[in-house]
Amino acid sequence: MSYLFSYDYRYDDNAYDTETSNKQVDVEDSIGQIYVKYVEPGTAQYGGIFDDTMLRLHRTKHEQFVRDAMHGLSSGFAVLDASQPWLSFWSLNSLDIMGRTIDSTTRTQALQTVQRFQDQRGGFCGGQGQLPHLAGTYASVMALVLVGGDDAFASINRERMYEWLMTMKREDGAFAVHEGGEVDVRGVYCVLVVASLLNIMTAELVSGVAEFVARCQTCEGGLGPYPGVEAHGGYTLCGLAALEIIGSTHVLDLKRLARWMSARQMAFEGGFSGRTNKLVDGCYSYWVGGAFSILQRALSRTPQDDMLYERRALQRYVLACCQDMRIGGLRDKPGKSADLYHTMYGLLGLSLAQHYVGVDPQTRITDMTSVYSVPARMMQWDVVTSAADVVGVSSNVVKPVHPVYGVSLVPLAKCIKYFYALPPLAPSL
Amino acid sequence: MRIEDSEQAEEAVSLAQQAEWQDITPIEQDEGEGSMCPIAYTDEYRELMGYLRAVMAVGEVSERALALTARVIEENPGHYTVWVYRKRLVEELESDIAKELDWVSEISSKFPKNYQLWHHRESLVTRLWAPSNAQSVSEDQRVTNPVLRRELQFLGAAIDEDSKNFHAWSYRQWLISTYALWTQELVFVDTMINQDVRNNSAWNQRYFAILANRDPSAVHLEADMAKSEIEYVVEHIKLAPNNDSPWSYVTGLLLRHAPSMLYTDLLPRIKQLAADNAYQAAMTLTPFYWSALLDIYEQQAADHPDTKKQLVEESRAICDQLASETDIIHCRYWNFRKTSLDTC
């Protein structure tokens, strides 16, 4: 049954309003004003058919937005001074997903910029003269994956990186994000992504990780940053992706997780919220959308089974509501301004909804627990072209991406090929 | 002069022109030509950062360094490195922690979504009153202890400002577990739920407070506690049946900690509500009621295989109804649920 647009799908507050329901109603009002332009007049109340041909991804505008940012950011961005690797990653990845070339000048620029964030003691920092940070490390490594090339990969000091990651390791299996920093599942994700890409996975590094992530699952079914804290889309992706890397998604109550994840898709807006009774936000297109792709694998579902969410409704939300036509780039929701973060995550979510990137349950590799089976397990993910579903004009199609790593498949494969040709760090493992 | 007054006086004058700072050379960032995403720092910010890097590089411990960290933090509270440095300075300079907390509280109102502020509070509070010392007094005494009373007040204000502030609730969990303030927490949670029955952060906190630091994987909820939670939930469902939070809370709680009570106690109460004229329409229309029935029937069928056939049949009908009428956006999930019935 195809999903139509209808005012019937609007939130029913049971004539008992609270701050939550009032905010939801306001958002629906603004989304409704947008959506109604895409359906035939008079049909909206009972189930209007969305005219998808009106939906277009304005690549040129978004590319301009990103390139302007790469060229320079205003003084107000000093608040992101400790997130500089992210600025490069968000930019490079947004361009790559849209199929834009990263020419050799940009490549050199990116490489030089990111290299300056690497700390002698290991890891990458949020900026020069700062402490190394797991998130900055993750963003730097991913930026280098997009830059690509042996020189970029060779610039990463694997040995120091491993030593530093181990100093972040905590007794409960999780990791502090920096010396004296917070411990949460986001840190776990950053470590496992980096370690699995750089071929520095060890049993020691990942010990206790699955147990910690499992404890982050709340009674609602989603995952929070730390045991006990509210289930949240971002942390759910982090936890689920981390478990996928080590082949341990089964430690979660997948049924309860599926229920919570499904509820993230908003009936009227079509996009995802990050928590129960919170508002839709374009960035969850990746956090929750990506989690659905991983869940597909965890439940051994096939492309014929299709995803457990409405891919078309999600794409409509991104295309109709998240594009900022004033300044270019993508945004959280109408009324908010575009930014690099929402641009990248909106595009990632769009990609994962357009393409079916999955693993054929039939071709599963048997040894799933060895840390050295990581590249094999991650490289089983591929695009199933027959299961593609691109909403709007066909030129809306963007590059397929890996749900766990959040980057396109070719640069990822090249990175894995490079690092797994190197010897692992500790021969005894 | 207090530090704050002298700071304000000095803010207008660049550091390079101050006698106090003549002895040290700022360390500039290497912004080679063609950096990606270069930030056009203001001269003031650039200078502050130059001096910060310089004092951090030599590990300087001084009042001027402390004052400098305050200025940097006010410009960029997300600068995690400066927070680590400040923490060390506060310790080594033996600064007045209560005053430090004052300052953190001041900054917080400007930056409600900043993580580092809360993390800094944690270290200050544990220094002011070591958790091990807190253990020796009763909860009533702990709650009235000035340190904790202040934290609870601060948290109350933050949550008042933004009832779902993720960092605030997360810090609150840390505070409550560290100082075992479980009894008062249930009261607080109840207040927040009554303020907005759809506040999921509050409902999540209710689960946290009910479990009270017991290991979730090992808890079996006492029957009377489970019953009273069911009553509590039903009362709040009545206010607005189409509200995910209480439904997710009660099914989640019982599934984990008293699964049989899903069908012995919760089921009759919600069926009763659905049969009640005042609530029938709303209950029928909300997907959460039907979803709860599915969860209940699944547990019941698992525990009583003789009822399985009947329950599976009823569940299939519910899934179909949800997928085609009540909750169409989630139809793919409901279809999955339906196929899962056959295998459970």
The model's pLDDT over A69-91, given as tens digits with 9 standing for 90+, comes to 999 999 999 999 999 999 999 99
Query: Distance (Å, rounded) from C-alpha A201 to C-alpha A187?
Result: 15
Q: For A245-301, what is each residue's pLDDT tens digit?
A: 999 999 999 999 999 999 999 999 999 999 999 999 999 999 999 999 999 999 999
A109 touches B at CB < 8 Å: yes
Residues of B in contact with A356 (CB under 8 A): none
Residue range B258-286: average pLDDT?
98
- Give the nearest partner residue to B78 out of A82, A177, A310, using CB atoms: A82
Phi-psi region of B167 (alpha: psi -120 to 50; beta: other; left: phi over 0): alpha
Contact B256 A128 (CB under 8 A): no
How far apart are the C-alpha atoms of B295 and B277, rounded to whole Å?
Answer: 24
Contact A195, A418 (CB under 8 A): no
| Residue A187: CA count within 13 A, CB half-sphere | 28
- Count the helix, strand and coil residues of chain A and give each as a percent rounded to the nearest 5: 55, 5, 40
Active site residue A321: no
Nearest CA of chain A to the CA of B229: how many Å? 14
Q: Using the predicted structure, report yes or no on whether residue A364 has a pLDDT greater than 70.
A: no
- Report which of A334, A351, A331, A329 is spatially closest to residue A401, judged by C-alpha positions: A351
Q: Where would I find the beta strands (DSSP E) of A300-364? A: 357-358
DSSP state of A48: B
Closest-CA distance of chain A to residue B242, Å: 7
Report the 10 Å Cβ neighbour count for A207: 12
Instruction: For A221, name the nearest residue in chain B, comparing CA atoms only.
Output: B252
**Contact assessment for residue A49 and residue A4, using Cβ atoms and an 8 Å cutoff:** yes
Confidence label for B67 from pLDDT (cuts 50, 70 and 90): very high
A104 to chain B, closest Cα gap in Å:
12
> Distance between CA B266 and CA B133 in Å, rounded?
42
Res. B310: pLDDT tops 80: yes
pLDDT class of B214 with cuts at 50, 70, 90: confident
Is A150's pLDDT higher than 90?
yes
Residue A232 is a catalytic residue: yes
Q: How far is A361 from chain B (nearest CA, A)?
A: 17
Interface contact B30, partner A, CB < 8 A: yes
Give the nearest chain A residue to B76 (CA atoms).
A79
Distance CA B211, CA B204 (A): 11
Please answer whether residues A157 and A114 qualify as being in contact, where contact means their C-beta atoms are separated by less than 8 angstroms: no
B113 given a catalytic annotation: yes
B308: pLDDT strictly greater than 70: yes
Which structure tokens are listed for B298? Answer: 């699944």
Contact A119, B43 (CB under 8 A): no
A3: tokens are 């999903």
Burial of residue A392, with CB atoms counted within 10 A of its CB: 0-12 exposed, 13-18 middle, 19 or more buried = buried
B213 contact A CB<8A: no
Q: Can you give the pLDDT at residue A428? A: 41
Neighbours of A315 (CB within 10 A): 27
Decide if pLDDT at B317 tops 50.
yes
Q: Which residue of A has its CA nearest to B253?
A: A219
d(CA B18, CA B13): 7
Catalytic residue among A281, A297, A345, A418: A281
Cβ-defined contact of A258 to B336 (cutoff 8 Å): yes
- Mind telling me how many Å the CA of A85 is from chain B's nearest CA? 9
A77 touches chain B (CB under 8 A): yes
Using a CB–CB cutoff of 8 Å, tell me whether A304 touches chain B.
no
Q: What is the pLDDT of residue B7?
A: 53
To the nearest whole number, what is the mean pLDDT of chain A? Answer: 94
Write down the pLDDT at residue A365: 58
Query: For residue B8, what pLDDT is reported?
Result: 54
More confident residue, A421 or A379: A421
The per-residue pLDDT for B213 is: 82
B113, B308, B309, B338: the catalytic one is B113
Q: How far is B295 from chain A (nearest CA, A)?
A: 10
Q: Which of B37, B26, B107, B65 minimizes the C-alpha distance to A126? A: B37
Q: Which of A95-99, B26-30, B197-201, B303-307 has the lowest average pLDDT?
A: B26-30
Confidence of residue B109 (pLDDT cuts 50, 70, 90): confident
| Residues of chain A positioned with their CB less than 8 A from the CB of B326 | none
For an interface test with A, the pick among B119, B198, B211, B233 (most A C-beta atoms closer than 10 Å) comes out as: B198
B113 pLDDT tier (thresholds 50, 70, 90): confident
Instruction: Give the pLDDT of residue A1.
Output: 38
Of B57, B199, B330, which has the smallest distance from its Cβ to A265's Cβ? B330
Which residues touch A243 (CB under 8 Å, ≥6 apart)? Answer: A210, A213, A249, A251, A252
Strand runs (DSSP E) across chain B, as ranges? none
Classify residue A247 as left (phi > 0), alpha (psi -120 to 50) or beta.
Answer: left
A263 contacts on B by Cβ (under 8 Å): 244, 248, 330
User: Taking CB atoms and an 8 Å cutoff, what residues of chain A touch B285?
Assistant: 12
Check if A324 is active-site.
Answer: no
Q: Which residue of A has its CA nearest to B31?
A: A113
- Strand A357-358 relative to strand A382-383: parallel, antiparallel, unpaired? antiparallel
CB contact under 8 A, B286 and A113: no
Query: A125 pLDDT exceeds 60?
Result: yes
Q: What is the pLDDT of residue A370?
A: 57
d(CA A356, CA A1): 19
| In the predicted structure, residue A3 carries a pLDDT above the cut 80 | no
Return the minimum-mean-pLDDT range out of A185-199, B55-69, B109-123, B299-313: B109-123
**CA–CA separation, B37 and A89 (whole Å):** 10
Q: Where residue A185 falls among pLDDT bands split at 50, 70, 90?
A: very high
Q: Using CB atoms and an 8 Å cut-off, which of residues 119-138 of chain A contact chain B?
A: 125-131, 133
- A230, B201: Cβ pair inside 8 Å? yes
A275 is catalytic: yes
Instruction: Confirm if A34 and A80 have CB atoms less than 8 A apart.
Output: no
Q: What is the distance, to the nearest Å, from the Cα of residue A330 to the centroid of all Cα atoms in its chain?
A: 15
pLDDT at A40: 83
| pLDDT the model gives residue B218 | 86
pLDDT (mean) for A22-41: 94
Q: In angstroms, rounded to a whole number, what is the distance separating the alpha carbons of residues B315 and B337?
A: 9
pLDDT given for residue A363 in this prediction:
67
Nearest-angstrom CA–CA distance, A389 and B181: 52
Cα B296 from Cα B303, distance rounded (Å): 11
Which of A383, A370, A352, A344 lies closest to A196, judged by CA?
Answer: A370
Higher-scoring residue by pLDDT: A162, B7 = A162
Put simply, the answer to whether B76 touches A81 (Cβ < 8 Å) is: yes
Does A278 participate in catalysis according to the annotation?
yes
Q: Flag if A220 and B204 touch (Cβ within 8 Å).
A: yes
Establish if B196 touches chain A: CB-CB under 8 angstroms: yes
Best mutation target among A24, A277, A344 (most B Cβ atoms within 10 Å) is A277
pLDDT tens sequence across B170-204? 999 999 999 999 999 999 999 999 999 999 999 99
The answer to whether the Cβ–Cβ distance between B256 and A219 falls below 8 Å is yes
Count other Cβ atoms within 10 Å, centred on residue A369.
10
Alpha helices in A55-157 (DSSP H): 59-71, 84-97, 104-115, 134-147, 150-154
Compute CA B17 distance to the chain's CA centroid, rounded to the nearest angstrom.
44
Provide, for chain B, the percentages of residues in helix, strand and coil under a 3-state DSSP scheme, each rounded to the nearest 5: 75, 0, 25
Chain A positions touching B87 (Cβ under 8 A) are: 180
Mean pLDDT of B210-228: 91
Mean pLDDT of A322-345: 98
Segment B136-157 shows an average pLDDT of 93
Size of interface A-B (CB pairs under 8 A): 229
ipTM over cut 0.90? yes
Tens of pLDDT, residues A10-29: 999 999 999 999 999 999 99
**Sorting pLDDT into bands at 50, 70 and 90, what band is B153?**
very high
What is the tens place of the pLDDT at every residue in A393-418? Answer: 999 999 999 999 999 999 999 999 99
A200-229 residues touching B, CB cutoff 8 A: 215, 218-221, 224-229
pLDDT band at B344 (very low <50, low <70, confident <90, very high): low
Measure the CA–CA gap between A171 and A240, rounded to whole angstroms.
Answer: 21
The answer to whether B164 contacts A275, with C-beta atoms less than 8 Å apart, is yes
Average pLDDT over residues A354-374: 72
Is A184 annotated as catalytic? Answer: no
Residue with tokens 């963003």: A139
**Closest Cβ–Cβ partner in A179, A260, A310 for B332:** A310
B305 touches chain A (CB under 8 A): no
A396 token code pair: 């809306």
Tell if the CB–CB gap between A182 and B115 is shorter than 8 Å: yes
pLDDT attached to residue A429? 39
Average pLDDT over residues A357-375: 68
Tell me which chain A residue has its CA closest to the CA of residue B332.
A308
Chain B residue with the nearest C-alpha to that of A79: B76
Cα distance between residue B42 and residue A76, in whole Å: 9
Q: What is the 3-state secondary structure (H, E, C) of A322-360?
A: CECCCCCCECCCCCCCCCHHHHHHHHHHHHHHHCCEECC
Alpha-carbon gap: B230 to the closest alpha carbon of chain A (Å): 15
pLDDT of B9 higher than 60: no
Q: Which chain B residues are within 8 Å of A21, Cβ to Cβ?
A: 198, 240
Structure tokens at B64: 């001027």
What is chain B's mean pLDDT, rounded?
Answer: 93
Contacts of B249 in chain A (CB under 8 A): 219-220
Q: Which of B37, B166, B244 sits opposite A88 (nearest CB)?
A: B37
